[in-house]
Structure 1
Amino acid sequence: MEEETRRRTLHGRRRGKKLRAGQQSLLDTLLPRLALAVPPAPGRIDLAAAFGGRLPPDGVWLEIGFGAGEHLVWQAEQHPGVGLIGCEPYLNGVAKCLAQIERAGVGNIRLFTDDARLVMAALPERSLARVFVLFPDPWPKTRHHKRRFVQRETLNRFAELMVPGAELRLATDDPSYLPWMIEHAVPHPAFEWLAERPADWRRRPADWPATRYERKQLAGTPTFLRFRRVD
């Protein structure tokens, strides 16, 4: 069963249309400088080494599935003392993110272009101050729900990785994924839902910028869930 879970694909395709020459150049030149190295199990990622020899003073944040990188780069600009790790297997999105990183000139982002669970398995415990899972693939068919990223075992691992007081942010625009997220995250003993009224999850927080995907509103109205890691 563990081997089946390890092999199960939780993300979609790896490539889309052919990359432009400039995008491919960024993958060839900039990505190797920003790529996060994940050691073989049971090794752990050296976060100080990953961010230039010292731990970021304001902590490390993890974004899973950063798409084209708008949110990731915005957070890096607004929080220069934070080290951000972005995971995204879709290489066309990675190329767009690299272009934004280059334009913004931020140096506090590291990228991983494969399954985020590999990073999660290799991070030290209590090493994350914030985690984002924004608009994951909804896998809407019932038989595919086992592929959804938000699962009990995922939340268990987040609980191990996050420091007390750290924030977990989930977002979806899929009407079937919202109750799924709530049903899995709200009863989890390691997390406290920060919503006090419906507006708290229907309204975008001020420090949560819209992405191009959200502006398209492909599936429905976005909802924003915030949880605190309790000790």
Structure 2
Amino acid sequence: MSSDVISNAKAVISNQTGPHQQLPQLVARHLASPFRKPYPAFSVQAFEEANNWQQRFKRPIIFDSYCGVGESTVALAKLHPEASVIGLDKSLHRLNKHDEHYRASGVDNYYLLRADIDDFWRLAVAAQWQLSHHYLLYPNPWPKSAHIKRRCHGSPLFRSLLALGGRIELRSNWPIYVEEFALALSLAGHPAQAQAFNPEPVMTPFERKYLAAQQTLYRCVYSLNL
């Protein structure tokens, strides 16, 4: 690995030293009331596009949320050939890199979509989708304590995450993020744990950079379908 790769993979810096003290209160509030933000037209259109694709195959559904350039989406499609893998990211710039680097993989059971995950997850719940797996690989950690509500487990979106079901796997290079996620699941009645791990195979560019920088990686894996 080049030194540039290592120097670009900085450790997360935060003013938190452990799980956020407000997390139990936030989880309780969000589980008690649905998220009623109106759906913009582009989000409805994006979901209809994904739904039309999925209806052609009627296979088990896997979400690769925050998929970035979609390297992980291809890897997951290879790992789960029996399923339809939907990669979601809000960045068109990242998604546009996919064709250049990964489209010639020979895998055709995946679909990449530019989407606002706040809307897409809720639309999937409203359509009564149930996932077989849900991967959240290295989402933005929002490491400042004041940004706890922007993390998926501290936001109103957590209710939708639970409703979608499936085997959830969250990965991060920031242990507190994974500890909080496991705590949020536990507070919702799903006893989960955070643990250090070595990825095999490596599935995202971020994961590759973190390993090159000799950072410890963490994950939380829990099946909501048990």
Whether these two folds match at TM > 0.5 is yes
Q: Using the aligned pairs only, state the percent identity.
A: 20
Instruction: Report matched runs for 1:1-231 at 5 Å.
Output: 6=37, 39=44, 45=48, 49-51=52-54, 53-56=56-59, 59-123=60-124, 124-151=127-154, 153-162=156-165, 166-189=166-189, 191-193=190-192, 201-204=195-198, 206=200, 209-217=202-210, 220-230=215-225
Q: Which amino acid aligns with 1:131?
A: H
Q: Which amino acid aligns with 2:171?
A: A
**Structure 1: distance between partners of 2:130 and 2:86:** 12
RMSD of aligned residue pairs (Cα, Å): 3.2
Using CA pairs below 8 Å that are at least 6 residues apart, which structure has the higher relative contact order?
Answer: 2
- Secondary structure of the 2:187 match is coil
Q: Is the 8 A contact 1:89 1:115 kept in 2?
A: yes
**Structure 2: distance between partners of 1:215 and 1:102:** 19
Q: Which amino acid aligns with 1:88?
A: D
- Secondary structure of the 1:225 match is strand
Q: More helix per residue: 1 or 2?
A: 2
Aligned-residue offset at 1:81: 1.9
Shift in alpha-carbon separation, 1:230–1:107, aligned structure 2, 3 A: closer
Cα deviation 1:3-56 (Å, max 9, x = unaligned): x9849xxxxxxxxxxxxxxxxxxxxxxxxxxxxx8536xxx7586631362302
**Structure 2: distance between partners of 1:95 and 1:84:** 18
Q: Is the 8 A contact 1:89 1:113 kept in 2?
A: yes
Cα deviation 1:148-199 (Å, max 9, x = unaligned): 122363332122222xxx200111112432332222122322x342x5xx8x
Gaps (5+ residues) in structure 2? 1-32
- Secondary structure of the 2:216 match is coil
Shift in alpha-carbon separation, 1:172–1:49, aligned structure 2, 3 A: same
Cα deviation 1:97-155 (Å, max 9, x = unaligned): 23344211222212221311221121122421111111111111111111112236333
**Structure 2: distance between partners of 1:152 and 1:159:** 12
Q: Is the 8 A contact 1:192 1:230 kept in 2?
A: no
- Secondary structure of the 2:74 match is helix
Aligned-residue offset at 1:67: 1.8
**Structure 1: distance between partners of 2:106 and 2:147:** 40
Shift in alpha-carbon separation, 1:83–1:71, aligned structure 2, 3 A: same
**Structure 1: distance between partners of 2:49 and 2:119:** 14
Q: Which amino acid aligns with 1:150?
A: H
- Secondary structure of the 1:112 match is strand
Gaps (5+ residues) in structure 1? 8-36
